[in-house]
Amino acid sequence: MTQRLLDILAQGFTRILIPGLTMTIPMTVLAFSLAMVVALAIALAQFAKLPVLTGFSRFYIWVFRGTPLLVQLFVIYYGLGQLGLKLPAFVAGVLALGLNEGAYCAETVRAALESVPVGQLEAGECAGLTWWQSVRRVVLPQAMRTAFPPLGNSLISMLKDTSLVSNITVAEMFVAAQRMVSYYYEPFAIYLEVGVFYLFFSTLITKLERWGEKKLNAYEYK
């Protein structure tokens, strides 16, 4: 470990951290929020067992789970731009990540909804609630407790997938590392450093996930 390498890593701390806080984390939060909206809509459409909505939902999941995220990024950023709908790179990244992860989260939420005993839904309807009220007040809260841990894993996966948006010119953490490598030509140390940053952010999400699980469990047993 030479003094030059130590200086490079010290410079890399701020050069990588700042894009992480201003680009990577905001993109992850926005994209995952979009993914959850999509997931709930798609999962509930399947849970309702309406043929048209179920068919559309399965088609959506089939497309977005069956094609690479990188291809989806290029289609949304470059493909839509060629058709006249030019999106900013950040917006295109959020859209692609959210739509892609929404397909995976939809299956997680659907499975959680179906894990709730049918009697819970019937009990709500017997109490005078409509189907939607029974789902929203009785079934969905129980399902989300089941879905919470795998959704936390999806959030961590999305955080790491943000590195792919470097391919559409979004200047996030990985781009900052690439620029440093091209200037200093120390790929091993710099890529290892950016990996530590991803690990740090993933660890924070894991801590928040476990805290959320404890809160949900405490609420359940009140």
Q: Please state, in angstroms and as integers, the Cα–Cα distance from residue 58 to each residue in 13, 48, 54, 216, following that order.
A: 44, 13, 6, 30
Q: Report pLDDT for 221.
A: 46
Task: Look up residue 60 and give its DSSP letter.
Answer: H
CA-CA distance, 216 to 116, in Å (whole number)? 16
CA-CA distance, 32 to 192, in Å (whole number)? 26
Which CATH code fits 3-220? Answer: 1.10.3720.10
Q: Report pLDDT for 32.
A: 96
Q: Report pLDDT for 43.
A: 93
Q: What does residue 84 show for φ and ψ, rounded to 5 degrees?
A: 105, -5
Contact, 40 vs 52, CB < 8 A?
no
Tell me the domain boundaries of the chain: 3-220
Q: Which of 157, 162, 153 is nearest to 209 (CA)?
A: 153
Contact, 166 vs 172, CB < 8 A?
yes
pLDDT along the chain (222 residues), means of 10: 81 89 94 95 89 92 94 94 90 95 94 84 76 81 87 93 91 90 89 93 91 72 47
- Give me the amino acid identity at 193: E
